[in-house]
């Protein structure tokens, strides 16, 4: 397995986006909010975290990747540690938060998470979304880094069977980056993470941006 930086394979590793003082501030905010949980939804309600998510450095990166101005719409904290340790199987991120339910071909199924309405979106819509994962700790091969299957974002929405086949066939890339770095991820890129095998935590702020709010078929993205 190798670490790679790529602009056209469905992911991108960008080191040193945030300064050490900014990372230290984020760590303090996260320590105050997490309460021993493995993750926290809706972190954009925190003004310090929202300011980072709306920082021109991140917005410019997301806009560059999507080739259009972007709208921040979602923020989540992932906190992997020896006491909150888990693995994530190979998958794609297909669900988007929306304002109301509209039945339309290619959309669904529907669900509710954390009090918000979500729907699995068509591949064409998901191509206009990118996640920026801001690393608050060093991500290493030992603390459950993001793992990706390059170029799978070009294959559309995939079945669980096809994802399992690709995981056996494709080279796996571990997206390791030091604290302050960012990993950009397209939602259709097949990705996973393993449990950490060291005492080093891996805290990540996962921000999502879209090229448009009106997604088509009368469906509107819910913006936090």
Is 80 exceeded by the pLDDT of residue 56?
yes
Residue 34 confidence class, pLDDT cut points 50, 70, 90: low
Is residue 157 within 8 A of residue 222, CB to CB? The reply is no
Is residue 30 over pLDDT 80?
A: yes
Q: Is the pLDDT score of 69 beyond 90?
A: yes
Coil, strand, or helix at residue 91? strand
**38-54 CB burial, b ≥16 within 10 A, e <16:** eebbebbebeebbebbe
pLDDT per position as a tens digit, 157-191: 999 999 999 999 999 999 999 999 999 999 999 99
pLDDT at 3: 39
Kindly provide the residue ranges of all beta strands, DSSP E only, lying in 141-213, ordered along the sequence: 146-148, 173-175, 182-185, 191-193, 202-210
Say how many CA atoms lie within 13 Å of 1 toward its Cβ. 14
**Preceding omega of 125 cis (within 30 degrees of 0):** no
Residue 43 has phi, psi (to 5 degrees) of: -75, -10
Rounded Cα distance between 92 and 94, Å, is: 6
Sequence spans of domains, the chain: 11-197+213-220
pLDDT at 46 over 70: yes
The residue assigned the tokens 């030992």 is 142
> CA angle, 129 as apex, 126 and 130 as ends, to 5°?
130
Q: Does the structure show a pLDDT above 50 at 5?
A: no
* 67: number of Cβ within 10 Å: 9
CATH architecture of 11-197+213-220: Sandwich (2.60)
Q: What is the DSSP letter of 177?
A: B
Q: Which residues pair with 88 in a beta bridge?
A: 193
From first CA to last CA, the distance across the chain in angstroms is 37
The pTM for the full model equals: 0.93
Lowest-pLDDT range of 32-41, 62-71, 90-99, 189-198: 32-41
For residue 7, give the DSSP letter.
S
Kindly state the tokens that stand for 218: 């009368």
pLDDT digit string, tens, across residues 109-148: 999 988 899 999 999 999 999 999 999 999 999 988 999 9
């Amino acid at each position: 397995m190798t670490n790679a930086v790529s602009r056209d394979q469905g992911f991108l590793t960008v080191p040193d986006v945030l300064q050490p003082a900014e990372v230290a501030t984020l760590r303090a905010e996260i320590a105050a909010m997490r309460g021993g949980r493995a993750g926290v939804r809706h972190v954009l309600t925190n003004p310090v975290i929202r300011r980072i998510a709306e920082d021109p450095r991140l917005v410019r990166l997301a806009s560059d990747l999507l080739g259009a101005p972007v709208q921040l719409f979602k923020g989540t904290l992932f906190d992997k540690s020896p006491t909150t340790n888990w693995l994530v199987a190979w998958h794609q991120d297909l669900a988007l938060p929306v304002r109301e339910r509209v039945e339309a071909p290619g959309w669904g199924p529907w669900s509710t998470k954390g009090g918000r309405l979500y729907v699995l979106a068509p591949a064409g819509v998901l191509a206009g979304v990118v996640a920026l994962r801001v690393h608050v700790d060093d991500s290493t091969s030992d603390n459950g880094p993001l793992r990706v299957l390059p170029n799978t974002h070009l294959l559309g929405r995939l079945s669980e069977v096809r994802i399992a086949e690709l995981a056996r066939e494709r080279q796996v890339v571990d997206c390791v980056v030091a604290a302050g770095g960012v990993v950009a991820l397209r939602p259709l890129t097949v990705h996973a993470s393993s449990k950490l095998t060291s005492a080093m935590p891996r805290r990540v702020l996962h921000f999502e941006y879209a090229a448009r709010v009106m997604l088509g078929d009368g469906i509107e993205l819910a913006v936090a």
